[in-house]
Amino acid sequence: MTDTTRAGIGLDFHRLTEGESLVLGGVEFDHHKGTVAHSDGDVLVHAICDAILGAASLGDIGVQFPDDDPAYKDISSMKLLKKVLEKVDVKGFNLLNVDSTLIIQEPKLGSSRAQMTENLEDLLGIPVNVKATSTERLGFIGRGDGVGAQAIAVLEKEESSE
Ligand code: MG
């Protein structure tokens, strides 16, 4: 990395509850449980938002989009990600790449993983990688009571803004 290249990490978890909707990477899943959240609870997109904000020293998603602000009630997290991209652009950063891992026991992602990747690449305009792991049925994620995600983003400062 050069001195104009910055990396950021993101980590997020959400509770899964009967009857809520489950959206991951902008894909809605047909599953009996979904995330409990102020927004649509897209844990993968939240981790990516935090990674990008972290690389730009812009705090985190809770700072930028407070969960007591009615403007963000049930908002699509993909819309929040677009706003994040605008914020880092204003600070003179270009996004170079994003890598991410969903930590989920069920449902199995199957072909939805390719759709998540496509959704994210279309919105961000850079290469995005979406990986997935279970916790081998250990802990709250393994019991299907929660879902998690982590992400890393690399940004480059535009030379003209140095
Ligand atoms: Mg979250």
The answer to whether residue 162 sits within a structural domain is no
Number of domains observed in the structure of the chain: 1
Can you point out the beta strands (E) in 76-145?
93-103, 128-133
- Structural domain for 19, as ranges: 5-157
Give the distance (Å) from ligand 1 centre to CA of residue 3: 30
pLDDT reported for residue 159: 77
| Cα 107 to ligand 1 centre (Å) | 19
Distance 160 CA to ligand 1 centre (A): 34
Euclidean distance between CA atoms 78 and 91, whole angstroms: 20
40 belongs to a structural domain:
yes
> Residue 71 sits in a domain of what CATH number?
3.30.1330.50
Whole-number pLDDT of residue 102: 98
Q: What is the pTM of this model?
A: 0.94
42 CA distance to ligand 1 centroid (A)?
A: 7
Q: What pLDDT does 137 receive?
A: 97
The answer to the question of residue 115 being in a domain is yes
Q: How far is the CA of 37 from the centre of ligand 1 (A)?
A: 7
Q: What is the pLDDT of residue 73?
A: 83
pLDDT in tens, the chain (162 residues): 556 999 999 999 999 999 999 999 999 999 999 998 888 899 999 999 999 999 999 999 999 988 888 888 888 999 999 999 999 999 999 999 999 999 999 999 999 999 999 999 999 999 999 999 999 999 999 999 999 999 999 999 987 644
Q: How far is the CA of 12 from the centre of ligand 1 (A)?
A: 5
| Residue 25 belongs to a domain | yes
Is 73 within the bounds of a domain?
Answer: yes
**Among 105, 108, 109, 110, residue whose Cα is nearest residue 138:** 105
Distance 117 CA to ligand 1 centre (A): 19
129 domain-assigned: yes
Report the alpha-carbon distance of residue 77 to residue 44 in Å, rounded.
9
The pLDDT assigned to 162 comes to 47
